[in-house]
Amino acid sequence: MKPYAEMTAEELSAELVDLKAQYKKVQALGLHLDMSRGKPCQEQLDLSMGMMDVLDSSSDLTCEDGTDCRNYGQLTGIEEARELLGDMMENNPKDIIIYGNSSLNVMFDTISRVWTHGVMGNTPWCTLPEVKFLCPVPGYDRHFAITEYFGIKNVPVPMTPTGPDMDIVEKMVREDDTIKGIWCVPKYSNPQGISYSDETVRRFARLQPAAPDFRIFWDNAYGMHHLYDHQQDYLIEILAECKRAGNPDMVYKFSSTSKITFPGSGIAAVATSPNNMEDFTSYLRHQTIGHDKVNQLRHVRFFGDIHGMVEHMRKHAEIIRPKFEAVENILERDLGGLGVGNWTCPLGGYFIMFDSLPGCAKDIVARAKKAGVIMTPAGATWPYGLDPNDSNIRIAPTYPCLADLKTAMEIFTLCVRIASVKKLLAEKQAQ
C-alpha cells in the first residue's frame, strides 16, 4: 500500500470505511489487555522464586563482618550488598548506600530533603522564589511527577538519538542559577530505549552550572537490562567521569533490583561522592537505624556475586526479547511505508517509543482503550502531561503474554491507521 499522504481524498475515504469495519469487529471481542506500565510478567517474577528459599528459620543470618541482620545497625547497608550492587552499578562499594525496595522512593526522599534542608549546606530550595528542573523529553512520567509535586518548575529539554540536547543543557545550567537539577535515564532510556553516547556523558561530567547545588539525578534503572548477548549498549560510568572533570559532587546515581528480582521487594541504592555520602548519611541518621538487612542478605545469597546476576538477567532477556521483536515486527508489517509514524528498536530496557502524526496520539490511545487495550496516557512522557505535538506514545511490551501482546499491537496499529487517515482526510478536504 502506498503512503497515506499520497492517497487522494477518495482513496482515504474508502480506506477509512474499511478500517472502521475492522475496528467494530475488534470492539465486539470485549478484550481487556493491559499495556499501561512497564511491569515484569509472571514468568519473570518466577525467576526469582528461589530467593525465597535461600533463608529459613535455620539459616545463619550473620554477615561476614559479624553483623546480625535481624538486629539494628548498618545504616548504609551490609557490606556484601554494597559489594554486589557496587558491581552492578560499576562503583566502589564504599560510595554506595543501600536503601529499601524502591529507587523511586529514594529519589522522592532526596528531593524532599534538599527541598527542606538544602544540598550540602546550601540554601533550602523551599525558601527560594523559584526552582527549576530540566526534564529530557520524551521522558519518565514518574520523575516529572516528583518535582511537580514539590512545586518545582519542570523545563522540557529535547532528547536526541544520543541523549539530551547538550547544547541546550549546557547553556541553560550555565546561565540560570534557579536550575537545580536534571532527570536522566541514561541507559535504555524510558521511553525511547536509547543510551547516552560517550560524548553526552562526558559533556554532562563537564557541566558548569551557575547553581552550586545543581545535581544530576542519574537513574540508571536499566543498566543490566539487555535484550541480546552480543548487541548491548555501553555507558560510560558517570561518577568516574565527573571526578576526572573536577566535578565529583555533581551526580546522584540511582539504581535498584526492582526489575531484576521482585519489584515490590527489591533493594535500591545510591552511588555518589564521599561529600554527598556524608550529606546523605547526616539525614539518614535521623530517619532510620538501617534498612531491611535480611532482604539485602537474601539477595546476596541468591545471586552469590555479579556473575550470578548476569546469568539471571539472561533469563529475563529470553522471556521479553520475543515480545520486543513481536512489537517491532507488527509495527513494520502494519505501518511500514504508510508514513504515519516511526518507532524505536531498542537493544534493552522496558519500552518502545512510538511517534504518530502530530495531533493523533490522544486519539490513538483513546481509541485503543475503547477496543480493550489500555496504554500509558498520551502526553505522559512530557511534564504536566502536555505533549505539544500530541504525537508521543510509550509502548510497554513486557507484562502481557506474547499472544495477548500480539493482539494488542494489532489493535494499536489499527487505531494508528484510523487516526492517521482521519487527520489526512480532514486536511485534504480543507484544502
172-196, pLDDT tens digit by residue? 999 999 999 999 999 999 999 999 9
Gyration radius of the chain over CA positions: 23
How much is the pLDDT for 248?
98
Which residue in 254, 258, 259 sits closest to 317, CA to CA?
259
How much is the pLDDT for 174?
98
Which residue segments constitute the domains of the chain, with CATH numbers given?
A: 4-44+310-430 (3.90.1150.10), 61-304 (3.40.640.10)
> Residue 110 — very low, low, confident or very high, per pLDDT cuts 50/70/90?
very high
Residue 193 backbone dihedrals phi, psi, to 5 degrees: 80, 20
Residues near 431 by beta carbon (within 8 Å), at least 6 away in sequence: none
Alpha-carbon distance of 177 to 365, in angstroms, equals 39
Residue 396 backbone dihedrals phi, psi, to 5 degrees: -115, 100
Residues near 356 by beta carbon (within 8 Å), at least 6 away in sequence: 340, 341, 364, 391, 393, 416, 419, 420
How much is the pLDDT for 204?
98
Which residue in 101, 203, 91, 190 sits closest to 144, CA to CA?
190
How much is the pLDDT for 431?
81
How much is the pLDDT for 383?
98
Residues 326-354 have pLDDT tens digits of 999 999 999 999 999 999 999 999 999 99
Coil, strand or helix at 145:
helix
**Residue 135 β-bridge partners:** 156
Express as a percent the part of the chain with pLDDT over 70.
Answer: 100
pLDDT(170) > 90:
yes
Residue with the three cell numbers 483513546 = 366
How much is the pLDDT for 1?
79
Which residue in 153, 151, 144 sits closest to 376, CA to CA?
144
Coil, strand or helix at 41:
coil
DSSP state of 340: S
Coil, strand or helix at 375:
strand
Residues 54-76 have pLDDT tens digits of 999 999 999 999 999 999 999 99
Does residue 191 have a cis peptide bond before it, meaning omega lies within 30 degrees of 0?
A: yes
Alpha-carbon distance of 12 to 18, in angstroms, equals 10
Alpha-carbon distance of 10 to 2, in angstroms, equals 14
Which residue in 330, 340, 338, 333 sits closest to 416, CA to CA?
340
Residues 121-133 have pLDDT tens digits of 999 999 999 999 9
pLDDT, averaged across the chain: 97
Alpha-carbon distance of 175 to 250, in angstroms, equals 17
Strands (E), 111-168: 132-137, 153-160, 163-164
The three cell numbers locating residue 138 = 520524551
Alpha-carbon distance of 361 to 342, in angstroms, equals 12
Coil, strand or helix at 51:
helix
Residue 424 backbone dihedrals phi, psi, to 5 degrees: -65, -35
How much is the pLDDT for 320?
98
C-alpha atoms less than 13 angstroms from C-alpha of 51 in its C-beta half-sphere = 24
> Residue 157 — very low, low, confident or very high, per pLDDT cuts 50/70/90?
very high
Residue 419 backbone dihedrals phi, psi, to 5 degrees: -60, -40
Q: Please list, residue by residue across 130-168, b when 16 or more beta carbons sit within 10 angstroms of its beta carbon and e when fewer do.
A: ebbbbbbbbbbbebbbbbbebebebbbbebbeebbebeb
Q: Evaluate whether 222 touches 241 at the Cβ level (below 8 Å).
A: no
How much is the pLDDT for 216?
98
Q: Evaluate whether 341 touches 356 at the Cβ level (below 8 Å).
A: yes
DSSP state of 53: T
Alpha-carbon distance of 279 to 213, in angstroms, equals 12
Alpha-carbon distance of 342 to 366, in angstroms, equals 19
Residues 278-316 have pLDDT tens digits of 999 999 999 999 999 999 999 999 999 999 999 999 999
Coil, strand or helix at 158:
strand
